Amino acid sequence: MPPKISLSQYLKQKADALKRETFALYHAARDPRTPLAAKILAGMVVAYVVSPIDLIPDFIPVIGFLDDLILVPLGIIICLRMIPPQVMAEARIAARKQIETTKSNTAAIVVIAIWIALAVLLGVWII
């Protein structure tokens, strides 16, 4: 019997998977082996995901999140049917590397920012 996970853990897993697929679509859209129609649709899906503008604003209860819960996965599913499997496999590998690199860079930036803040506080305290 698989271990039970909480709703928040389940949603986080699904959000992470959606993020990975969005990055993979971005990489697949840039591949020359991807058909033009798939490139256009993938570009639209990725642009919609990263855009701060929604068709239905998120502040509207329930309905505001429906476009994110329906349109984005639907767009991804359609793109996955249009893009050759080999291209998507390579795009997923590139996306995974990009996400790992981004996390590493973010952690490094946070550590450096903490050290700079501590140095500034020490300088202010000494002066």
pLDDT tens, residue order, the chain (127 aa) = 667 888 878 878 887 888 899 999 999 999 999 999 999 999 999 988 887 776 777 667 767 777 777 888 899 999 999 999 999 999 999 999 988 887 666 666 777 888 888 888 888 888 7
**How many structural domains compose the chain?**
1
The pLDDT assigned to 74 comes to 92
3-state secondary structure of 4: coil
The pLDDT assigned to 91 comes to 97
The pLDDT assigned to 124 comes to 85
Rounded Cα gap, residues 53 and 86, in angstroms: 32
Whether 107 is in a domain gets the answer no
Whether 126 is in a domain gets the answer no
Whether 76 is in a domain gets the answer yes
Rounded Cα gap, residues 101 and 38, in angstroms: 27
Whether 113 is in a domain gets the answer no
Whether 79 is in a domain gets the answer yes
